[in-house]
Amino acid sequence: MDQIEAKQAARAKNLRKEPLRTPTDLGEAGGADIAAAMNLLLADVFALYFKTKNFHWHMSGPHFHDFHVLLDEQATQILAMTDPAAERVRKIGAITLRSVGEISRLQRIPDNEADYVEPSDMLAELRDDNQVLATRLREVHELCDEHRDWASTSLIEGWIDETERRVWFLFECGRRPDSGGR
């Protein structure tokens, strides 16, 4: 057995010990750093998704229909981030979130379990949460860029744009008529 075959045999043996460890050229530290950051991001995305659906379900008032539809559209967009984020973690050889409990332990976007929230407060809270998410997306983008993980940075760039659009819509919907939005 030559040296190349020996390395391949050793690699195959290691993969049997760690069956979910997908090979990657990002390096062990790069993959681990990116996976940890992406899993935190994923927990935040799930938390934001559920909060957005919570507010969608509990919306009330004279703009009920418009806000109800807006939040449903935004929740769908947020949920669409989850699978690509989790699959990216798996593609770089790491394990992703496995339970609601893990999401709860990792999430940094706070829940809102109030019995009643004013519609304007719902919009403001979601606007602020999306702004926080945009900041965190930029932080993870920077980390991925440092490790030359162009696939992750590409995904994140689209998510930043979508998140900024949500912030914009929530800001505009939350403006009072006398604030220039006559």
- Phi/psi of residue 8, nearest 5 degrees: -65, -40
**What token pair was written down for 9?**
């045999």
pLDDT score at 18: 58
In this structure, what CATH number is given to the domain that contains residue 67? 1.20.1260.10
| Domain containing residue 64 | 27-179
In a domain, 105, yes or no: yes
Give 80's contacts (C-beta < 8 A, 6+ positions apart).
Answer: none
CA-CA distances (angstroms) from residue 152 to 43, 68, 92?
A: 17, 32, 10
Q: Each residue's pLDDT tens digit in the chain (182 positions)?
A: 688 888 777 776 665 555 556 656 565 666 789 999 999 999 999 999 999 999 999 999 999 999 999 999 999 999 999 999 999 999 988 889 999 999 999 999 999 999 999 999 999 999 999 999 999 999 999 999 999 999 999 999 999 999 999 999 999 999 877 655 55
Is residue 92 within 8 A of residue 31, CB to CB? The reply is yes
In a domain, 42, yes or no: yes
**What token pair was written down for 181?**
């939005």
In a domain, 64, yes or no: yes
Alpha carbon 123 to its chain centroid, in Å, reads: 19
In a domain, 128, yes or no: yes
How many domains in the chain? 1
In a domain, 147, yes or no: yes
Is residue 90 within 8 A of residue 23, CB to CB? The reply is no
Give 27's contacts (C-beta < 8 A, 6+ positions apart).
Answer: 147
The model's pTM is: 0.84
In a domain, 153, yes or no: yes
In a domain, 68, yes or no: yes
pLDDT score at 176: 78
Write out the H or E segment, with its range, that includes residue 125: helix 119-146
In a domain, 16, yes or no: no
